[in-house]
Structure 1
Amino acid sequence: MRSLNIYTAIFTILLSTCAFKIATESQWQSKLVHIKSDGSLTYTPDEKGNQIPDFSYVGYHHGNTQIPEVKVVKSIAPDGTNDQQIIQQAIDEVSKLQPDKNGIRGAILLKRGIYKIPGTLQLQAGGVVLRGEGDQKEGTRLIATGKGQRSLLKINGQGKPASVEKTRTNITNNYVGTGSFSVNVQNASQFHAGDQVILYYPGSQNWISDLKMDQIEARKGTKQWQAEEYNLAFQREITKIEGDKLWLDNPVVMEINPKYTAAQVYAYTFSGRISESGVENIYFESEFQGDTDEDHGWIAIDFNNIENGWVRNITAVHFGYAAVSLGSQAKNITVRDSRCLDPKSIITGSRRYSFNNDGQLNLFMNMETTYGRHDYVTGAKTLGPNVFFNGKTRQSQSDIGPHHRWAVGTLYDNIDTDGDIDIQDRGNYGSGHGWSGVTQILWNCKAKRAAVQSPWVSGLNYAIGLQGQKYPGRFTDRPDGFWEGQNKRNLNPSSLYLAQLAARKK
């Protein structure tokens, strides 16, 4: 799947916008998002002021900058004996180079051939790119050899977000609706445009109770949700300040209701987080002993503690868990034009999460998978906006969507699966998965069937232009999500993400 780069895609959506001026009768638009003849968008809020958020500020540098073509500074070739050592030495060497003004050190070119990797490659510096000569077997082929569940390649900085002393201030709005880019605070004097801030929602017991997540039907191992485990920290940047109003680079994706949370804003630093590292044009493969083998390569590319990085044009075959997995501190990562094929594992929990996202402001686009369980998936407390755009799945072994414990703000845009897409209360699945998420949007997706429900409180989930069967999911008595245009073709815009991106770039 190599056909759609982001600029071609934007041009395509602009063409469709122009076509809309002529107004073909078969096109229809959502009641919630309206595209005008000039390509601009208008949003219809609900009675509380919530609207569909703008998902366009995700991925590498918020989609404002193209992924760079980094100059090669080191070339290597396999020798069949010490391949892991050869690659690791090259990574370590380039990691010591002085970065340029953009934080780039250079690319390592892995020449065409087979590289045998018995362990894990570690990349812990920013500005380093691993580039192969093709993501087919005949290209640059990295094989996780032998036994051991592991990541073949880990790109991982250090540390964690640290609050800046004396910057914490309360949000004073009576209510902030989903989709808003601003909040009012008690004291904005300590902030400046460009500051990195946390939009912080402390958990509360009355919120847990109204979600009924302290009432999960128990079985062995079930844990009721605890308020202190649901403190949500959305990472944002201040774009401007007007009095005590802070404008943010990305929207609120879960309503701020003082009934449930005493929300705050505070500045943070993250000194160990790296940036500007990427992986390109490589074929990743895991050895295995049988279709249910559990003791082999588990993740091809594993990111965490990194921002403004990327993966493009990779193929991963036979890994037990994922082609690409983004950890909770992976932010503004673009994963595109990539495939996860024919994983090998038992078909059960915590396996076959082909493209897994636990981080914030990340974009997955132009993906292809086979035989996965949860192909485009988020984990517990995955905080958005995040986007999965243009993904094809075949021989699905389970469902796509937010998996458990309250993902917030995910767009599934033009996802095409022969399995299910589910956004629901998962009840006592796992150790008490419960409500899988809020502000989860299916836009112009295709599925065998879908369950889209909205939680008892805190917002809605949406199915707009879904092609497929509607079914009740795990429970038949949960509130229905917002459904519009089921099995109705020619939704305009055909892609919400691309339309939002094009509209703000006008």
Structure 2
Amino acid sequence: MPLPRQCFSRWVIFIIVGCFVVVVVTCGTYFGLAKRKRHSFDWTAIVSDRGDVLPDFSFAGYHASAIILPSGDGANITLAFNGSVDDVGPLIQEAVDKMAALGGGAVLLPEGRWPMSAGVNITSNVVVAGAGSDKTVLVLQERPSQPVFTLGTPNNGTKPRYGSRSNITNDYVPIGSSSLDVVNSAGFAADQFVYVSRSATESWIRGNGMSGLVRDDAEQTWIPVGKRIMAPNQISSVYGTNVTLKIPLTDNLDADYTQPELIVYTPPYMNEEMGIRDLGIEVPDTCSGAPMSDKTCNSPAVHFPSWTVDSWASGLSLKGFNKFFQIDQDASRITIQNCTMNRDKDIQGAALPFDILIQGSQVLVQDCAQVGSPEARCFTVGTGSLTPGPNAVLRHKTKSDAQTIYPHQRWAHGLLVEDSSVKTLFVDRGIKGSGHGWSINGGVGWNLDGSVDFESPPLGINWCVGCNDPKGNATFIESGKRVDPQSLFMAQLEERNIYRQDGDNEEYNE
């Protein structure tokens, strides 16, 4: 029996399939570009004379913001407290330890106001959750001389183990670059943890105008000669003597002033996947306003110590603390979101406290607010000495200009403040403190409506884009009006092919 005759020749079929592929690819490219380039302002075109570009802040946050926060679904323990209990802290700790021994899960706290002492340690893969910030309220029985909740191992001074190292040979590495050339790449490999390191030199300090600080006839030291400035990163790939990093640099490297190097390190340990959410914590005998020297009143409500990664706090209502959150050096990929902080009394003395102190990297603070007394002065978000980026603060709110977003001291780098009316200062603090000097490099303000004072150091750069009536000598772009995209952070996420719908930041992964 003869085979049925083909309706179309083989060549016609090839042509039809080929046309279909071309249409699919063309449409995909068109709609992809349309989605990525729908904004009226091209932020990718911002480039300094030396090639510096805006840091990529989208790597800040839990899992570098590649995913949203976990829901807490899965194994859990639901606690039930009776009215006669005088301290629920030990009961919470016992439940945390039990969940950790089972491999992780959630410790669910009941509704009510419960007496508690500070000092609960949350361990890897455990989440402590209440029924809501106004439904589950933990009331401290004493002023906190230690953190109420510590997510990870309390600081014990353990250092990383260092491995291969090599000098970086580039004459200048601009902010935003991911590529480094080294003398010898033999000891480097993809996925290794590395520090991009350099030592402060006399010429670099002098070049930034920081060599002659004097206060009350006493010399002030900004950064000591020889002090290492360390920025953690991870290797993406190695090709010959070129090393590509996973996270673009938030600081510039200039061989005219210092010899940078790349150093492999191994963390001593890592604690991960810890969270605290949907509860309130109060200090009835308020610590707000206590002198900074008061050791019984200056511990945070929530502490992320060194080597804590991919962890978070969400939906907390905190009242009466003198410090609300602290993120230590070498903690990373931390998210703090949808939290309120009630500072109900002004500080005694000139030294100001922090609401949120960032000393780690890849920290994301979003949709948080200081809701206490407008007279209560503080740094509502601040960075410590040499704090590496990227770090980001989105949609932050306060009650007055007495509460500022203000990098505190000594060359932090890579901080984004976005879509906020909070008074923001990226400046040379000069002789303030013990010689805080230039407090930030590679900083960006984006669509800021409040009071703005931005300055650029002689050997660095800070930007303010879409900022209202900014003051200072920084690089100002489109001042006096907001720009599109409204969110640099979200636009940079999209450049990484991570897309979020409005409100995703308030949701949890299912």
Amino acid at match of 2:192: D
1:216 aligns with 2:209: no
- Distance of 2:218 and 2:143 partners within structure 1: 30
1:93 paired with 2:98, answer yes
The 5 Å alignment of 1:11-410 reads: 29=41, 33-34=42-43, 42-70=44-72, 71-79=74-82, 80-97=85-102, 99=103, 105-123=104-122, 125-136=123-134, 139-157=135-153, 160-165=158-163, 167-219=164-216, 223-228=220-225, 230-288=227-285, 292-293=289-290, 296=297, 298-305=299-306, 306-322=308-324, 324-344=325-345, 346-348=347-349, 351-370=352-371, 371=373, 373-410=378-415
Q: Deviations over 1:246-301 (max 9, x none)?
A: 11111111111111221111211113221111111111111226874565474211
Instruction: Describe the SS at the equivalent of 1:501.
Output: helix
> Could you tell me how far apart the structure 2 residues matched to 1:238 and 1:303 are?
25
Shift of 1:461: 0.9
Q: CA deviation at 1:220?
A: 7.1
Shift in alpha-carbon separation, 1:431–1:234, aligned structure 2, 3 A: same
Give per-residue Cα distances to partners, 1:33-70, cap 9 Å, x unaligned.
44xxxxxxx33422211111211111111111232223
Q: State whether residues 223 and 410 of structure 2, in contact with CA within 8 Å, keep that contact through their aligned partners in structure 1.
A: no
Q: Does 2:490 align with 1:498?
A: yes
Residue 345 of structure 1: CA displacement?
5.1
Give the aligned partner of residue 9 of structure 2: none
Letter in 2 for 1:81: D
Aligned to 1:440: 443
Letter of the 2:92 counterpart: I
Partners of 2:171 and 2:256 within 8 A in 1: no
How well do the aligned residues superpose, as a CA RMSD in angstroms? 2.4
Q: CA deviation at 1:413?
A: 1.0
The aligned residue for residue 481 of structure 1 is 474
Q: TM-score, normalised by structure 1?
A: 0.84
> What's the CA shift string for 1:334-375, capped at 9, x where partnerless?
111111123445254554422221111111111111345111
Distance in 2 between the 1:164 and 1:426 partners? 34
1:422 equivalent to 2:425? Answer yes
Identity %: 25
Compute the displacement of 1:73 (Å): 2.3
Give the match for residue 6 of structure 1: none
Q: 1:470 to 1:66 in 2, by over 3 A?
A: closer
Q: Letter of the 2:141 partner, please give it.
A: T
Cα deviation for residue 503 of structure 1 reads 2.1
- CA shift, 1:145, in A, is 2.0
CA distance in 2, matches of 1:83, 1:422: 41
Tell me the secondary structure at the aligned position of residue 149 of structure 2: strand
Q: TM-score, normalised by structure 2?
A: 0.83
Change (3 A) 1:229 1:221: farther
In structure 1, the gaps of 5 or more residues are 1-13, 35-41, 100-104, 473-479
Q: Is the 8 A contact 1:285 1:318 kept in 2?
A: yes
Displacement, 1:497? 0.5
For structure 2, which runs of at least 5 residues remain unmatched after alignment? Answer: 1-30, 499-510
On the 8 A contact 1:62/1:332 being kept in 2, the answer is yes
Change (3 A) 1:129 1:118: same
1: distance between equivalents of 2:300 and 2:314?
16
Q: Summarize the Cα distance change of 1:201–1:290 in structure 2 as closer, same or farther, 3 Å threshold.
A: closer
Q: Write the letter of the residue equivalent to 2:160.
A: A
